[in-house]
């Protein structure tokens, strides 16, 4: 088993109990060494507070590690991959397999050497898997992993997904948690290694209970002439922060993020998408749309970084927010860090309510106010929904949006 050791759960997440936790693990030394490196960085990292740029909108004063004592069991992770992916526990890799992963993991640690939440998951992960895509997937099948925070009050999964050279593939992550009396804690890392000329569609769907603290770090490494399309749907939860990052290390790469977040009640979600271009002749784009009702609050940050050595790069980021109630909030923080000359960059952000003139026009055509609101909300999110690679997922999202935004969520 990977990281699920009931005898030491009391100190598993506590910063001062790491050596005791480590000694209880039945893992190969190479994996323990990785945990040690992550923990050494964690010791000097600052706990997220309002003084840190990426965390200044999220108040974690009521988040206490000591409250989480019961890790979710191995059954909390469930794969459905068929013949289209090979799944192995990282602890069961041989030395050669680990040596292939090590450069990727070490590069990851260096990129997040001061990010406390990410380092906590890297040093104390409860489950760890290596997933290698094998074959092109037919339209009627969608390989996925389900992370269900059930049977415990915290889970910290680590996934490494490899997309081989020239492979056209897709894979989904689903995160689930139920509403409970006490808080639950979900904090995961996903590393996507997208090789040369690969064409990869990644989806993340998160359906969270209203007592869930949820944190996510997803990082993609793109080699030359690769294509990466990420479709994101995030809803529910108590408070959450997610980093979706792409490091474009090869020439001719194409990167696309399309995301939506329909929030209600008092839900708070903070999503940050960062694309770092390191090579020339590349294209990237971000489209993220939010609908918020009641007292929900969403923060979106988009960051495009293009250093001076890059040429012929086109980058766009768009964030649109629709508020259904005056008490709902949405904040948009676009960032462009462009140090090159021969590039084309655009950004745009909007926050607004449903246009009364639209409602009046539809009412004049005999459409009720409720039906008009449904049409406007669905039309607002339809462009993003169309980018999900499965008809069943698109239908699921349409039903969810209608229930959450227009029904009794």
Cα pseudo-dihedral 105, 107, 110, 111, rounded to 10: -100
Tell me: the pLDDT tens digits for 71-94? 999 999 999 999 999 999 999 999
Domain boundaries, the chain: 17-355
Per the DSSP assignment, residues forming a β-bridge with 79 are 145
Mean pLDDT of 98-121: 96
Question: d(Cα 64, Cα 68) in Å, to the nearest integer?
Answer: 8
Q: Is pLDDT at 20 greater than 60 in this prediction?
A: yes
pLDDT value of residue 363: 75
| Residue 328, both tokens | 């709902």
Question: d(Cα 349, Cα 332) in Å, to the nearest integer?
Answer: 6
Q: Is pLDDT at 1 greater than 70 in this prediction?
A: no
pLDDT value of residue 10: 52
Q: Is pLDDT at 2 greater than 50 in this prediction?
A: no
Model confidence at 408, in pLDDT bands (50, 70, 90)? Answer: low
Question: d(Cα 193, Cα 191) in Å, to the nearest integer?
Answer: 6
pLDDT value of residue 137: 86
| Residue 270, phi-psi category: left (phi > 0), alpha (psi -120 to 50), beta (remainder) | beta
Closest CA to 198 of 169, 240, 221, 220: 169
Mean pLDDT across the chain: 92
Better-predicted residue by pLDDT, 292 or 340: 292
Closest CA to 265 of 58, 54, 407, 57: 407
Model confidence at 356, in pLDDT bands (50, 70, 90)? Answer: confident
Tell me: the pLDDT tens digits for 49-74? 999 999 999 999 999 999 999 999 99
Tell me: the pLDDT tens digits for 163-186? 999 999 999 999 999 999 999 999
Better-predicted residue by pLDDT, 406 or 208: 208
Tell me: the pLDDT tens digits for 299-328? 999 999 999 999 999 999 999 999 999 999
């Amino acid at each position: 088993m990977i990281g699920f050791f009931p005898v030491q759960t009391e100190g598993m997440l506590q910063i001062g109990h790491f050596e005791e936790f480590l000694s209880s693990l039945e893992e190969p030394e190479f994996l323990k060494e990785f945990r040690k490196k992550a923990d050494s960085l964690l010791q000097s990292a600052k706990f997220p507070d309002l003084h840190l740029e990426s965390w200044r909108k999220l108040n974690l004063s009521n988040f206490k590690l000591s409250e989480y004592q019961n890790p979710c069991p191995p059954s909390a992770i469930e794969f459905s991959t068929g013949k289209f992916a090979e799944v192995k526990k990282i602890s069961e890799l041989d030395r050669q397999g680990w040596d292939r992963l090590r450069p990727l993991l070490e590069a990851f640690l260096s990129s997040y050497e001061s990010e406390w939440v990410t380092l906590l998951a890297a040093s104390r992960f409860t489950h760890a898997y290596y997933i290698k895509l094998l074959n092109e997937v037919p339209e009627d099948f969608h390989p996925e992993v389900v992370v269900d925070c059930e049977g415990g009050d915290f889970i910290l999964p680590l996934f490494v997904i490899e997309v081989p050279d020239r492979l056209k593939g897709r894979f989904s992550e689903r995160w689930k948690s139920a509403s409970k009396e006490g808080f639950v804690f979900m904090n995961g890392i996903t590393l996507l290694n997208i090789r040369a000329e690969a064409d990869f569609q990644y989806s993340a769907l998160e359906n969270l209970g209203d007592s869930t603290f949820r944190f996510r770090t997803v990082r993609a490494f793109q080699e030359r002439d690769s294509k990466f399309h990420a479709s994101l749907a995030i809803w529910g939860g108590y408070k959450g922060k997610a980093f979706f990052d792409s490091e474009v290390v090869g020439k001719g790469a194409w990167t696309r993020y399309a995301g939506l977040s329909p929030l209600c009640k008092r839900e708070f979600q903070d999503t940050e998408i960062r694309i770092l271009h390191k090579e020339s002749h590349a294209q990237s784009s971000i489209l993220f749309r939010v609908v918020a009702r009641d007292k929900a609050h969403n923060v979106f940050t988009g960051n495009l970084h293009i250093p001076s050595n890059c040429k012929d790069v086109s980058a766009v980021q768009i964030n649109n927010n629709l508020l259904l109630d005056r008490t709902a909030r949405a904040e948009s923080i676009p960032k462009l860090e462009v140090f090159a000359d021969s590039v084309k960059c655009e950004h745009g952000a909007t926050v607004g309510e449903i246009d009364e003139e639209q409602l009046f026009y539809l009412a004049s055509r005999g459409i009720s106010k409720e039906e008009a609101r449904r049409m406007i909300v669905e039309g607002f999110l339809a462009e993003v929904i169309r980018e999900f690679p499965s008809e069943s997922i698109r239908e699921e999202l349409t039903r969810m949006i209608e229930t959450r935004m227009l029904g009794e969520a």
